[in-house]
Structure 1
Amino acid sequence: MKTLFLSVCLFMASLTAGAQTRYSQEMADSQGKQWTHGKNWDYVNGLVAKSLLNLCEQYQYADWTTRYYEWAKAYADNAINPDGTFKNFKKGNIDNINSGKVLFALYKHEKALDEKNGTHNADRYKKAADYLHNYLVNEYSRIQNGDAKGCFFHKDIYPNQMWLDGLYMGAAFYAEWQGEFDPDNAGAWSDIANQFKSVNRHTYDKDKQLNYHAWSYDPDDANSFWANKTEPFKGCSKEFWGRAMGWYFAALVDVLENMPQSHPDYAELKQITLQVAKGLERWQDKESGTWYQLLQYDDSYKSKCGIANYLESSASSMFTYAYLKGIRLGILPDSFAGVAEKAYQGLLKTFVTKNEDGTINLNQSCRSAGLGPAKDPSRDGSADYYLCGKDVTIVNNEGKAIGPFIMASLEYELKNK
C-alpha cells in the first residue's frame, strides 16, 4: 500500500509540474551512477551509460562537464586502454557489442576538447569503436545457409539462432558506426537491413501482430530444444516476450535514424517499424497505458508457480522511447501520439516511486530471460518460464529499465519543451 501511495503521489505531482519535471535527470541522479561508474563492459551498464550521454547531449550541461558525463566516461575508461585496445573484451557474444554505442559520443566530445586544448584523448574511443565494428562485420559468427544467410548468431553458444534482443546489441551499433564513419557504404546498409528482414520474416505472427522472441535456423540442434520443430513458425520460440520486442522496436528506430533514406531497404525497414507499432498498440493495456511481461496475455494468466502475468517496466520504457522517437523522426505517423502519451504517463503512474531522500525508483522489471542452451533445459521459452524461471525474477531499479526510461523521458521532454 505504501508503494502504491507513493506512486500515486508522484504521478499527481507530475501532472501539476508538467514539462518542468525532468524525469530524465531525476532518474539519472537517482540510479545512474550505480550502473556505470567503475562497472565492467556489459550491455546493461553500457545501456545506462548511453542514456547518460544522451542526457548530456540534449541539455548541454555545462559543456558536458557534469557527473553524468564523468560516470559514462569512467565506465568506458575502465574497459579501454589509452591506446584504444580493450582490457578484457569477451568474444562470441553479441551483447558485448552494445556498449560500444557510448564510444561515438565520447569520441566526438573528446575530439572537440583535443582541438581546443591541444590534447590527444579522443583517438582511443575511435580505435575501440573501429575494433568492435571490424570484429562484428568480419569475424563474428553468422548463419551460412538459407534465406537468413549472413545473419549474426546471438551468441556462439547459441549457434544459428537469432534473438530479437541481438538486433539492438549488434545491428544498431553497426548502423551508428556506419552513420558516423562510412555513411555511403550501400553494402553495409544492406547487411544491416538483412538482419531485420530475416528475423521479421521468420518470427512475425500476423494474427497476433507480434514477433516471437527468437528463431533458430536449425531447430533440431540440441541448443534449440525450445524451438518449434514443425510449421507454422518452424524454428520459433513459443511466446512474445515484452523486452525482446522492446529491444527490437528500439533497434529499428535507432537504425533508421542513421540509415540513408535513399537506400533500397529503408522503406522496408520503415514498414516493419510501422508493423511493430501497430501490433504493440493492439496489446497496450487500456487502463495503465503500459505493457505486460508476456504481451498476448493480461494478469488473468496464472503460472504454475502462482505468479501472474504482470505489467513490466523495461519493455514499457523501450516501447515508449521507440514510439516517441519514431514520431519525432517521421518514421512513425503522428497518429501514434496518443499511444505514446498514454504510455509515458503510464510509466510514471505504474512504475515510478519516490524515496524519503527525494530519489526515485523504477519498479517491476524482469531481471533476465533467455532460451537454452542445451545444458539449461529450464529455459524452454514457455509462458511459465517467463514468469517462474530461476533467472526470471521481478526486480526494481534494473539497468535494462533505467536506461530506456531515461531515453523515453528525454524524448518526452524534447516533445514538450
Structure 2
Amino acid sequence: MKKYIIFALLPLLFTACRQHQDSKATLWSHKMVDSHGLGDFYCNRHYQSKLDSTGWDYVSGLVAGAVLETWKQYPEKEEYYRSVKAFADLNLNEDGTMIMNSKGGSALRPSNIDDLPAGRIYFTLYEEELRKGNTKDAERYRNAVDLIRNTLKYDHSRIATGLPGAGGFFHKAVYPNQMWLDGLYMGSPIYAQWESTFGITDSVENKASWNDIALQFKTIHQKTYNADKQLNYHAWSATPADSNSFWANQRDPFIGCSQEFWARGMGWYFAALIDVLEFMPKNHSSYPEIVDIANQVATGLKRWQDDGSGLWYQLLQYDASMTADGKGDTVVGEVYNIGNAPNYLESSASSIFTYAYLKGIRLGILDKAIYLPTAEKAYHGILETFIKEQPNSSKIDIVQSCASAGLGPAKDPSRTGTINYYLAGKDVTIVENEGKAIGTFILASLEYERLNDNDR
C-alpha cells in the first residue's frame, strides 16, 4: 500500500518541482517591462499608453529608470534602451539646458523636489551615448543632470537658519518648512550620484555637498524616528503651528511629526538610504552614521513584516483588523475621509522594501544572514499576492497599490494624515498597474535575479 501511494504521488511531485523550477527561471523583470514598463501604466491615476510619449514626472521617471536598469543587466534588450532614450529626448530641449513640460516650459517647478528624480536616467544615457561616440546627445544629458543637481543644491528652498532642522530641503514650496520621507528619495540619490560621477573628489565643494546630503538624512531621522516602534513618521514640519502643517503634532514628543507610519513613505526613505550609500565615500565622516540609520530602518521593517505573507501593510504598525472608523475627520467644521475601509497589504511599499533589502545586502550595507530571509520571503509574497497573470495573455498585472498620499496643505484639509485618511481618503485609492508599483517591482526583481545568478 505504501509503495502504491508513493507511485501515485510521483506525478504530482514532479509537477510541483517543475513549477518551482519554472518560477525560479522566470525573469519577472522582463515580464513586467514587457507588460507595463514600455507602456500601459498609470502615473498618479493618469493613464500612459506608451513610455516614449509620456511626460516628465517622478512616476514615469521611476518606470523609465527601472526599464533602463533592466537593459543594463540584460543589454541584449536594446528596445528597452531605445524606449527610455525616446522618453528622455521627448522631455529635453535641444541642448539639454531645459527639461520641458507638455507646454514647452520648464518641468522643474520652483522648489518641487518631486520633479527631480526622473533625471537619474541621464547618467546612464550620458555614459552609453559617449561610449557610442554620440557626443552631441552625451553633452545634452550631462547638461540635464547638471541642471537638476544645481537646481537642488543652489535654488531649492530650505528650512531657514534659526529653525529646527535648518538646511533641510522643503518637500515642495507649497509645504513650507516641511520634510517628508518621500523627499529623501526624490532629491538625495541624484545629488549623490552627481557628486560621485562628476564631483571633484575631496574638493571643498564636493565635501560640502556630501555634508549637505548627510544632513538631510540626519535631520529627518532625528525628527521622525520612533525608537519604540522602530519606524519613521511620514513627515515632519519645523513650523507645526503654520496653517499648512495642520496635520502635525503640536507638542512633544515628536513635535511637528505626522501621526502615522505610512508604508510607501518608509519605502522611499529606505531606498534613498541604500541608493545614496552606493555612491557615498566610505571615508566620509558621516558614512557610518548613515549606514547605522539604514540598519535601524531595516530592523524596524523586519519587525513589522507580516508573518503569513511576508509583505507589509499600508499602515505599518497595524494589520487588517484596523479599519477607518466610519466617522471621518473633522477639520474646521467640515468632515472628511468617511469610510470603514480596512488596512491592506500594499504592493509598491512591499516591492521597494524588497529592493532596498536585496541591494543593501549586495552592497554589504545590510547583514545577509539577518536580512536575506526577510527579503526572499517578501519577494515570494509579492509574486503570490500581487502579481496576476492576464487571461489568455503573456502579460501580468500588479495589484493593490496605494494611488497616492500626502499631507495638507491648508487648501486641502482632507489630507489629515490620520488612519481614516490613509485608508479612506479621496486620493488614497487602491489601484492596479500604478507606475510606483511597476517600477519598484522591476527593481526588486532585478536584485533578486542578480542574487540567483550569483548563487548559481
- For 2:24 and 2:275, the matched residues in 1 are separated by 25
* C-alpha displacement of 1:328: 0.4
1:10-29 to 2 correspondence within 5 Å? Answer: 15-29=20-34
Give CA-to-partner distance per residue, 1:247-288, whole Å, 9 cap, x none. 000000000000000000000000000000000000000000
- For 2:235 and 2:32, the matched residues in 1 are separated by 31
**Paired AA for residue 81 in structure 2:** Y
- For 1:15 and 1:124, the matched residues in 2 are separated by 46
1:52-131 to 2 correspondence within 5 Å? Answer: 52-61=67-76, 66-86=78-98, 87=100, 88-89=106-107, 90-114=109-133, 120-131=136-147
- Match of residue 3 from structure 1: none
Residue 150, structure 1, aligned to residue 167, structure 2: yes
* C-alpha displacement of 1:91: 2.6
Q: Are the equivalent residues in 1 in contact too, given 2:36–2:433 (CA < 8 A)?
A: yes
- For 2:286 and 2:130, the matched residues in 1 are separated by 33
- For 1:150 and 1:218, the matched residues in 2 are separated by 14
Q: Are the equivalent residues in 1 in contact too, given 2:224–2:232 (CA < 8 A)?
A: yes
1:169 counterpart (172, 182, 186): 186
Unmatched tracts of structure 2, length 5 or more: 1-15, 42-50, 101-105, 327-338
- Match of residue 414 from structure 2: 378
Q: TM-score, normalised by structure 2?
A: 0.86
**Aligned pair in 2 of structure 1 residues 14, 368: CA closer, same or farther (>3 Å)?**
farther
Report which structure shows greater RCO (CA 8 Å, sep ≥6): 1
User: Which segments of structure 1 move beyond 6 Å, counting only runs of 4 or more?
Assistant: 11-14
**Paired AA for residue 319 in structure 1:** F
1:365 counterpart (401, 419, 425): 401
Q: Are the equivalent residues in 2 in contact too, given 1:219–1:228 (CA < 8 A)?
A: yes
- Match of residue 32 from structure 1: 37
- For 2:196 and 2:452, the matched residues in 1 are separated by 28
Aligned partner of residue 388 in structure 2, secondary structure: strand
Give CA-to-partner distance per residue, 1:106-165, whole Å, 9 cap, x none. 111111112xxx652211100011011111100110011234111100000000000000
Q: Are the equivalent residues in 2 in contact too, given 1:46–1:98 (CA < 8 A)?
A: yes
- For 1:80 and 1:363, the matched residues in 2 are separated by 32
- For 1:243 and 1:372, the matched residues in 2 are separated by 17
Q: Are the equivalent residues in 1 in contact too, given 2:225–2:232 (CA < 8 A)?
A: yes
- For 2:407 and 2:352, the matched residues in 1 are separated by 21
Aligned partner of residue 148 in structure 1, secondary structure: coil
- For 1:13 and 1:45, the matched residues in 2 are separated by 36
**Aligned pair in 2 of structure 1 residues 12, 150: CA closer, same or farther (>3 Å)?**
farther
**Aligned pair in 2 of structure 1 residues 13, 348: CA closer, same or farther (>3 Å)?**
farther
Identity of aligned residues (%): 54
Give CA-to-partner distance per residue, 1:211-245, whole Å, 9 cap, x none. 00000000000000000000010000000000000
1:218-229 to 2 correspondence within 5 Å? Answer: 218-229=239-250
* C-alpha displacement of 1:183: 5.8
How much is the aligned-residue C-alpha RMSD, in angstroms? 1.4
Q: Are the equivalent residues in 1 in contact too, given 2:260–2:315 (CA < 8 A)?
A: yes
Count of matched residue pairs? 401
**Paired AA for residue 28 in structure 1:** V
Residue 410, structure 1, aligned to residue 440, structure 2: no
- Match of residue 284 from structure 2: 263
Aligned partner of residue 353 in structure 1, secondary structure: strand
* C-alpha displacement of 1:85: 2.2
Unmatched tracts of structure 1, length 5 or more: 1-10
1:203 counterpart (207, 224, 228): 224
- For 1:386 and 1:412, the matched residues in 2 are separated by 30
Residue 352, structure 1, aligned to residue 387, structure 2: yes
Give CA-to-partner distance per residue, 1:182-220, whole Å, 9 cap, x none. 162221111000000000000000111000000000000
Residue 133, structure 1, aligned to residue 142, structure 2: no
Aligned partner of residue 179 in structure 2, secondary structure: strand
**Paired AA for residue 80 in structure 1:** L
- For 1:128 and 1:13, the matched residues in 2 are separated by 48
